Structures are given as structure tokens and as C-alpha cells.
Amino acid sequence: MTELIPPILLVGCGRMGGAMLAGWRERGLAESVIVDPVAAVPGVRVVAEAAAIPPGFAPAAVVLAVKPQSADAVLPLHARHSGEAVFLSIMAGKTIAGLGRLLGDAAIVRAMPNTPAAVRQGVTVATAGPGVQPAQRALCDTLLQAIGAVAWVEDEALIDPVTAVSGSGPAYVFLLAELLERAAVEQGIPPGLARLLARRTVSGSGALLAASGEDSAALRVAVTSPKGTTERALAVLMAEAAWPAAISQAVAAATARSRELAD
């Protein structure tokens, strides 16, 4: 396979780091290194700690995919790559300024992907810090496109509400499927069928939304027959104190928490 992606140092290979790695390998990844004490990835060199990185290994990008609470201990171990590689951080709550205090004079891109990255259907919003060169930004864009759609913003403060909407958003959708399945069982539908109906309704509706150029509100109206069952259900869900208030409150709460976690 032609190598489309240059050598990468992936620090942390959990669920999101692993999803990114899989996407890169599908596109053609040059010989790279993973730093993770427990990961086992066939065909890729994995080392347990930074000290075990092969001498002379020069990554084009260092992707920081460790837990935010590990940043203070882990990031300074990779500061030696500052000035050469671009650092791409997907750690929630860690600002570019905070990362810079741990990495020194580094080119840093901060990004927030989401879990549909595992099936290459994610969406990521990224922002570039001072000193990031156009070629480095382009490389980060390539790395992120391997797991889905990418958008860039100039204002780093937008990453907090982005985290609340798309970063946390899959959990809201999974909750909908969970509650829809429970309600189906309450109405007498057998559990296996309830799960099938709930999951396929959520996933199929998402696929329709992705394929349609119509506004989501227009799609909702199209399935809502006057005086029908959907209209009766939406009268409950769209009551002022129901979904309209709850979704806004949930996103506001998640945004506030993201700001609390920021350096």
C-alpha cells in the first residue's frame, strides 16, 4: 500500500487513539510508534514508555490521546519533539496554552473528535495554535479526515461547546435508543424486537438525515401527519419544559464542565 501518512508518534492507544490509528492504516501509514503500556497492535511498533521510543525516530506528528489527568506526567516526556513535529491533542479540556506549558515551544493543534470515529463516521472540530505552519495544519487535517468530517475554527473557546454538542453528543443519541427500547418493552413489545426497533430507528434516521439536504426540522415535519400518532407523541416531547429545555440545559451543563476542566 502506498504510504500517504508520514511517521506518527501516537501517545495513548485507547478507544479513540485506536480508531484514529485504524483510519490511518487504511490510508497507508509509514512506520510509526505507539506509546501505551497495555496496547497490542499487530504490525505497529508499540512501546510501554517514552524512554523506549527507538533512537532517531522522528515523527511528523505527535498525537496526544491520553487521559487529560495524565497530561502533567506524560507530556513533558515528549517535549523533545517540539520544534520538529506538530502536536495534535484530542484531550478534552486541555487548552493550547496549558499544553504549551508542558511541551515548551511547540506547534500545537487542539481537536475534539467523537466516538463514531470508530466506524469512520466521526466529526472533529480543530483549532491551530500560534506557530502551526500550513503544512502542519494540512497534516493534522489529513489525520483527522481518516476518521470522518473535519471543521476548523479560529476561536479556541468554541471547543468547549463543540465538546458539549458533538463530543458528548453520541451519548445523548445512545440514551434515546436506550429509552426508546425501554418504552417499547413497557408497551408489550418483546425485548429482542424492542431492541431491533429502537436501534434501527435511530441508526436509520441518522443515515437518512446524513443523506438528505433538507433541514432536520423539515424531515421531522414530513413524518408528522396531522392528528396522527407522531403528532401526539411530539406534543409531549416538544412541550416547553420537555426536550427543548432539557437539550439546551444538557448542552449548557456540558459546556460549563468543559470550561471547568480547561487549563
Beta-carbon neighbour count of residue 6 at 10 Å? 17
**Segment 116-121 long-range contacts (CB within 8 Å, at least 24 positions apart):** 116/148, 116/170, 117/16, 117/19, 117/20, 117/23, 117/147, 117/148, 118/15, 118/19, 120/23, 120/146, 120/147, 120/148, 121/148
In a shared domain, residues 114 and 21: yes
| pLDDT above 60 for 80 | yes
In a domain, 164, yes or no: no
| pLDDT above 80 for 156 | yes
In a shared domain, residues 12 and 133: yes
In a shared domain, residues 17 and 130: yes
Q: Are 236 and 246 in contact (CB under 8 A)?
A: no
Q: What pTM does this model have?
A: 0.91
Q: Are 151 and 51 in contact (CB under 8 A)?
A: no
| Domain limit, last residue, from 154, 188, 208 | 154
The number of domains in the chain is 2
Give residue-wise pLDDT tens across range 97-120: 999 999 999 999 999 999 999 999
| pLDDT above 80 for 230 | yes
Q: Where residue 234 sits, what CATH number does that domain have?
A: 1.10.3730.10
**Distance (Å, rounded) from C-alpha 234 to C-alpha 226?**
11
In a shared domain, residues 39 and 142: yes
In a shared domain, residues 140 and 223: no
Q: Where residue 24 sits, what CATH number does that domain have?
A: 3.40.50.720
In a shared domain, residues 121 and 192: no
In a shared domain, residues 29 and 147: yes
**Mean of all residue pLDDT scores within the chain:** 95
Where in the sequence is the domain holding 141, given as residue range(s)? 8-154
**Distance (Å, rounded) from C-alpha 159 to C-alpha 180?**
30
Give residue-wise pLDDT tens across range 241-263: 999 999 999 999 999 998 888 76
| Domain limit, last residue, from 107, 131, 154 | 154
| pLDDT above 60 for 1 | no
| Domain limit, last residue, from 92, 120, 154 | 154
